[in-house]
Structure 1
Amino acid sequence: MAIGVLALLGFQLVDSAFIARLGTAPLAAQSYTFPLTFLIIGIQVGLGIAIAALISRALGAGEARRARRLGSLVLGLGGLVIGLLAITLWLAQQAIFSRLGAGPESLALIRDYWGPQLLAAWFGAVLYFGYSLCRAHGDTRLPGKLMVITSLINLLLDPLLIFGVGPWAGLGLPGAAWATVVAFGSGGLILWPRLRRADWLGRSGLLLEARRSALPFAGIAGPAMVSQLMPPLAAMLAISVVSQLGETAVAAWGLASRLETLSLMLVLALTMSLPPWLGRCYGAGDWAQIRRLMRLAAKAVVAWQLLLGLVMAAAAPWVAQGLSGNPEIRDDLALLIRFLLPSYALLGLCMIVVSAGNALGWPLRAMLMSAARLFICYLPCLWLGMLAGGLTGLAMGAALGNLLAGLLAWQLYRITRQG
């Protein structure tokens, strides 16, 4: 899963790196769309958490037929929910992006980009639900391989569709979105026959299963989606703060956001692969194994993220130059890297605790942990830092918020575990 996440998030960073070559304005326009893209991802991840939790618990309890019925239900309903959300975001784009601080030039660029990007988001969400089904059944290899394959397809298509080839001038900013549509669509064509051959989908008794599982599913998916929707909301508020520092700061912040998700690849892989394992232990009542898994995950996350953060901070000027190719954006991005990357050691710890809470029957507590991370620790420090010291203060405030969030989450986990 770590390899797959690296590939998947890597191509998102590659998208931004190619777009940066188009200029500051297209990169800033793409950066304004990140919070809404994260909104879609938040809902799909919340649904995916519920999928993995319920199916892994059913398998742990020996209910294989129920697991197949749940697989069919959540795939269909999940695709419907994301489709309705995409249509809503398309219709409301002018009002939303204007509120986020996008000017006329950015709005014009976003208008051409947002349609194919929403289509790509829907393909990606449905594919993600299939990955969740695989992980619930203990198969992390196939999702990992498909993430690599789709990333390679996107990497090959990006320069062709963005910049063109020969006499064809290319599509510019929308080309990045169309490359993602083709990549995710190709992944779906590979995945769905595999799901049918594995007999992980049920056809009979779906209506009765929907009635039986509606409340348990909502009990997990509801708080999980609220938890996952908080980061996009926080991202919207954060980018509205950053926009006060100018278009260059917004562009640098957008690249830093892409780099953040890529640098958290191990954490994200654990948030995908650890909950089904914990869910099976939960279904079997094996709390000793749960505690061992949590300790191991915490040690791995803190050690890896701290090492990676320090290396990236030391190499910040060269990393920023490689990603942006623009002297104005480069300096701002290097500053953000130096402060933010090392702080992800404790941010990752917080993310592990939240994902574990959903698998262990503490969805409401996990939601409260997410709220505390963003609205008590992160955003206040970010805003106060910006007021005190511009972009430097903003970077320091964001780093401090991440550190406080990790410490608070682990302390809450210890209290909950003992309780």
Structure 2
Amino acid sequence: MAASPVPSSNPLLTAPVLPTLCRLAVPNIIAMVGSALAAIAETAYIGQLGVPALAGMALVFPLLMLQQMFSGGAMGGGIASLVSRALGAGNTARAEALVVHALGIAVVAGLVTTVVMLTLSDAVFGLLGGRGEPLAQAVAYAHVAFLGSTGVWLLNTLSAVLRATGNMLVPSAVLIAVGLTQVALAGVFGLGAGPIPRLGMPGIAMGQVLAYAGGTAVLAWYLAAGKARIRLRLRGIPWQPGLARDLLQLGAKACASPVQTIGTMMILTWLVARSGPQALAGFGIGTRLEYLLVPLAFSFGAASVPLIGMAIGAGQVARARQVGWTAAGMAGLLLGSAGLVLAIVPQLWTDHFTHDPAVLAAADTYFHWAGPFYALYGAGLSLYSSAIAANRVGGQVLAGTLRLLLVAGGGAALVAAQAPAWSIFALVALGMAAYGTASILLVRYTPWEPAARPAPA
């Protein structure tokens, strides 16, 4: 089917870049903050179940985060990129076909995740150090939470589709509602209420499963009812291996970044732990702030995806690059401002968590080293999303690989030299600086023009 002309009135192709980016980013920021608050509330519930439950959740949390990174950040970014480029080229039929294929991939990915976690959770958590009651609590949570993996994948896929059209408000509102519902249901089923017994860890996990299932149903209805720019049509669209291949190729390359991030954090945690519990606690206070700040960078990165995708689809490569640089500048400004303040006055954050002098000293040292480089780190995170939108994610994978190798190689050298904890925090700063600088340079010198397709024979 031939692509229809691109309407010149499309505001995502003509509106000023910075105001449009901010308008698209704000709902994302609110939704991500809401999700963070839901996670905090869930942790508070688990705390009421005792220390073994908290330790068990610590084993499960990295895998839950990895699932979200794969389904929402990596594959979600790839889906939004391809759908927005099709819309930018005026090819609505291709965009709607991509949606169907993306949903098929999400279902398969969710089912595979469920099977793997139900059969291998004991072994996986055991490799992460789980023993005794904490291991039992982790398995109890995982056996319910990962039953809902298909719901997680579908919700993040449908959210990515709507974001690809420039609609950030609806998916963000649904994600906020999902977070609130999860908090309510986790409390009811996990801690008990009225006639509902206290189910413990499985009950808390049930709250997440039911909330995501409800959010998926709402977004599916919204798209099927024709309320969005494109419509969800499950009938009349044949399976096209080429579309599935495009989605999987871009998504698979993007999935390398979450693996690199988790790997880097695991190495750093192991290195800091060698310096004692106070250093580890101080490091944890520092990284806890990063988990709140990083969504700000990704919010601008996610907002850049439909703008970049549509611009490239419409042949406006210069505008696409302007969007990417603007989003990176905003992310760098926000994270950099916070980092500089905390490098000078870390007590604004650290004093809320402990009064132990050794822990505070470690946390202060962390911010003195890492804080000045938050700006480069934030810019790199935003450019990762922008590069996915341009289907040029290879450079960002190289930047992440550079950071991982620096941390691994530098960490080995520090261990051999029996270096103090501050040197590990300096290594954190070096990794951030290298990642951000490499991301900027690779985007600067990587062309974003679409590759020419061979003419049909």
The answer to which structure has the higher helix fraction is 1
Equivalent in 239, 242, 257 of residue 227 of structure 1: 257
Q: Is the 8 A contact 1:55 1:70 kept in 2?
A: yes
Partner of 2:53: 26
- Residue 137 to residue 20, structure 1, CA distance change in 2 (3 Å): same
The residue type equivalent to 1:61 in the other structure is A
- 1:168-207 paired onto structure 2 within 5 Å: 170-198=198-226, 200-204=231-235, 206-207=237-238
Q: CA separation of 1:186/1:395 partners in 2, compared to 1, >3 Å: closer, same or farther?
A: farther
Structural mapping, 1:119-134, within 5 Å: 119-134=147-162
Which of 378, 390, 414 aligns to 1:348? It is 378
Q: TM-score, normalised by structure 2?
A: 0.78
Say whether residues 1:320 and 2:353 are aligned partners: yes
- Do 1:384 and 1:397's aligned partners in 2 also have CA atoms closer than 8 Å? no
Distance 2:366 2:42 in 1: 19
Partner residue of 2:66? 39
Quick one: distance in 1 between partners of 2:168 and 2:175? 11
Higher deviation after alignment, 192-201 or 39-48: 39-48
RMSD of aligned residue pairs (Cα, Å): 3.4
User: For the residues of structure 2 that align with 1:32 and 1:229, how far apart are their CA atoms?
Assistant: 16
Q: Distance between the aligned counterparts of 2:150 and 2:271, measured in 1? A: 29
Could you list the runs of 5+ residues in structure 1 that have no partner in the other structure?
none
Is contact 2:224–2:233 with CA below 8 Å preserved after alignment?
no
Deviations, residues 142-173 of structure 1 (Å, cap 9, x unaligned): 01111211122233344444444579773444
Q: Secondary structure at the match of 1:138?
A: coil
What displacement does 1:386 show? 7.0
Q: Which amino acid aligns with 1:302?
A: G
Are 1:94 and 2:122 matched, yes or no? yes
Counterpart amino acid of residue 11 in structure 1: A
CA distance in 2, matches of 1:369, 1:335: 27
- CA–CA separation in structure 2 for the residues paired with 1:278 and 1:141: 19
Alignment match, 1:213: 243
- Conserved? CA contact 2:38–2:182, under 8 Å: yes
Q: Does 1:376 align with 2:405?
A: yes
Matched position secondary structure for 2:353: helix
Per the alignment, residue 273 of structure 1 pairs with 303
Residue 293 of structure 1, aligned match among 314, 323, 337: 323
How many residue pairs are counted as aligned between the two chains?
Answer: 413
The 3-state SS of whatever aligns with 1:207 is coil
Larger RCO: 1 or 2 (CA < 8 Å, sep 6+): 1
Mark the CA change 1:272 to 1:159 in structure 2 (over 3 Å): closer, same or farther. Answer: same
In 2, the alpha carbon distance for the partners of 1:283 and 1:173 equals: 47
Give the counterpart of 1:398 among 428, 445, 455. Answer: 428
Name whichever of 328-337 and 118-127 sits farther off: 328-337
Given the alignment, which residue of 153, 157, 165 partners 1:137?
Answer: 165
Question: Judging changes above 3 Å, is the alpha-carbon distance between structure 1 residues 135 and 418 closer, same or farther for their aligned structure 2 residues?
Answer: closer
Deviates further, 199-208 or 118-127: 199-208
Deviations 1:255-314 (A, max 9, x none): 765543322222121232211210111112212212322232122111111223355633
Sort the Cα spacing of 1:146 and 1:87 in 2 relative to 1 into closer, same or farther, 3 A: same
Amino acid at match of 2:328: A
Question: Are 1:70 and 2:101 an aligned pair?
Answer: no
Q: Does the CA-based 8 Å contact 2:75-2:255 persist in structure 1? A: yes
The worse-fitting range, judged by mean Cα deviation, of 55-64 and 402-411 is 402-411
Alpha-carbon shift at residue 23 of structure 1 (Å):
4.8
Query: CA-to-partner distance for each residue in 1:194-218, whole Å, 9 max, x for gaps?
Result: 010125223355335x223233223
Equivalent AA in structure 2 for residue 353 of structure 1: L
Aligned match of 2:113: 85
Change over 3 Å in CA distance of 1:16–1:145 after alignment to 2: same
Residue of structure 2 in register with 1:15 after alignment: 42
Q: Distance in 2 between matches of 1:34 and 1:333?
A: 24
Q: Distance in 2 between matches of 1:304 and 1:203?
A: 41
Write out per-residue CA displacement over residues 196-244 of structure 1, whole angstroms, 9 at most, x where no aligned residue. 0125223355335x22323322331221123333323444445555665
Change (3 A) 1:240 1:334: closer
Pairing 1:104–2:145 present: no
Tell me which residue corresponds to 2:17.
Answer: none
- The answer to whether the Cα contact below 8 Å between 2:164 and 2:306 also exists between their aligned partners in 1 is yes
- For the 8 Å contact 1:35–1:233, the answer to whether it is kept is no
CA separation in 2, counterparts of 1:174 and 1:382?
A: 38
Q: Which residue of 1 aligns with 2:9?
A: none
Q: Equivalent residue for 1:151?
A: 179
**Closer, same or farther in 2 for the Cα pair 1:96/1:124, shift >3 Å?**
same
Distance in 1 separating the partners of 2:131 and 2:360: 23
Q: What is the CA–CA distance in structure 2 between the aligned matches of 1:2 and 1:180, rounded to whole Å?
A: 21
Amino acid across the alignment from 1:367: V
- Indicate the larger mover: 172-181 or 61-70: 172-181
Any idea what the Cα deviations from partners look like across 1:310-339, whole Å, max 9, x if unmatched? 556332234325xxxx97998599558736
Aligned pair in 2 of structure 1 residues 238, 190: CA closer, same or farther (>3 Å)?
same
Q: Which has the larger radius of gyration?
A: 2
- After superposition, the Cα gap between the structure-2 partners of 1:273 and 1:222, relative to the gap in structure 1 and judged at 3 Å, is same
Identity of aligned residues (%): 24
Change (3 A) 1:3 1:229: same
Q: Aligned partners of 2:134, 2:428: CA distance in 1, in Å?
A: 26
2:59 is paired with a residue whose SS is helix
TM-score by length of 1: 0.85
CA distance in 1, matches of 2:320, 2:115: 41
User: Do the aligned residues in 2 keep the contact of 1:256 with 1:333 (CA within 8 Å)?
Assistant: no
Q: CA 1:123–1:33 in structure 2 vs 1: closer, same or farther (change >3 Å)?
A: same
